[in-house]
A and B are shown apart, each in its own frame.
Chain A
Amino acid sequence: MTVRVRFFARFRELLGTDIMVNAREGIVLSELVKEVASRNQDGYQAIFDDQGVFREFVILMQNGKRIETSAAGTTLVKDGDEIAVFPPVAGG
């Protein structure tokens, strides 16, 4: 299945954006982000700690809806999903 992964701000600089991923059926959100982030060590370390756990400030969205990082290990990714990964916002 095909999934679109989008990184923003500092994560975008390290990992790129608009990444189309051929993901396996049944993959959960945390695994997907881990696989994509593994393409760049600095990018991976910006998002995950040494235990492979999402850093507390990381924000995830699935199709525009916020998913708590604590739920990412049980959140299934579906064909056509758009996943966004970004640091704290700073608009205004």
Chain B
Amino acid sequence: MIAIQTGDVDIGDLITSAKRHGTGAIVVFDGIVRDDDIREMELEAYGEVAVPELEKIASEAKSNFNLLSVDIIHRIGRLAIGENILVIVVSAGHRKEAYEGSRFIIESIKAGVPIWKKELCKDGDRWVPGEHSHGCGPGK
């Protein structure tokens, strides 16, 4: 399952369906709205480009790391502290491929998929500048 959606996802269901013939390891990455002294987070995506790019990343990860399955669900809209932002579930024969494949996917998403985050702070809002600092505290 590759999706950009407003709703949450049941990680347990994803794990269950990721168990394939030959699966020896499943790695779950769950990116969560961190309490960086913010109220909420708002996410938007260029969906027509972002979904095909996620599909391409999943396909590359499968072939490069011998993954048996890949699920990527990236949420958009307004999210509260503690909510899931991004869930990646990969299944592989062995833990090494599963860890490396999962890492490849998250780093590829951060590097180039057109999705943006805005932190809604108590004293104003700010767009998260890529991989740079987060949070609304002093000096941010």
Contacts of B10 in A (CB 8 A): none
The interface residues of chain A lying within 8 Å CB-to-CB of B48 are 64
The total of interchain contacts (Cβ-Cβ below 8 angstroms) comes to 65
B109 within 8 A of A: yes
Residue pair A91, B116 in contact (C-beta under 8 Å): yes
Given contacts A8-B44, A10-B127, contact A91 B113 (CB under 8 A): yes
Beyond A87-B116, A91-B113, whether A6 also contacts B46 by CB under 8 A is yes
Please give the number of chain B residues whose Cβ is less than 8 angstroms from any Cβ of chain A in the complex. 28
- Shortest beta-carbon distance from A33 to chain B in Å: 16
Closest A residue to B105 using CB positions? A92
In the complex, chain B residues whose CB is within 8 Å of the CB of A12: 44
CB neighbors of B among A52-92 (8 A): 59, 61, 64, 84, 86-92
**Cβ-defined contact, A9 with B127, below 8 A:** yes
Query: Which residue of B52, B86, B106, B114 is within 8 Å of A89 (Cβ)?
Result: B114
Identify which of residues 1-52 in chain A touch chain B, using a CB-to-CB cut-off of 8 Å.
Answer: 6, 8-10, 12
Contacts of A10 in B (CB 8 A): 127
Q: How many angstroms from the CA of A86 to the CA of B47 in the assembled complex?
A: 13
A92-B86 contact in complex given A9-B127, A87-B127, C-beta closer than 8 Å: yes
* Closest chain A CB from B53 CB (angstroms): 9
Residue from B49, B109, B113, B130 in contact with A61 in the complex, judged by beta carbons closer than 8 Å = B49
Contacts of A8 in B (CB 8 A): 44, 46, 114, 116
Residue in B52, B111, B113, B116 whose CB lies within 8 Å of A9: B116
Q: Are A86 and B114 within 8 A (Cβ)?
A: yes
Q: Which 4 A-B pairs have the closest CB atoms?
A: A91-B115, A9-B116, A88-B130, A92-B110
13 examples of A-B residue contacts, CB within 8 angstroms? A8-B46, A8-B114, A9-B44, A9-B118, A61-B49, A64-B52, A86-B114, A90-B131, A91-B50, A91-B113, A91-B116, A92-B31, A92-B106
Using a CB–CB cutoff of 8 Å, the interface residues on chain B facing chain A are 31, 43-46, 48-50, 52, 74, 85-86, 106, 109-118, 127-131
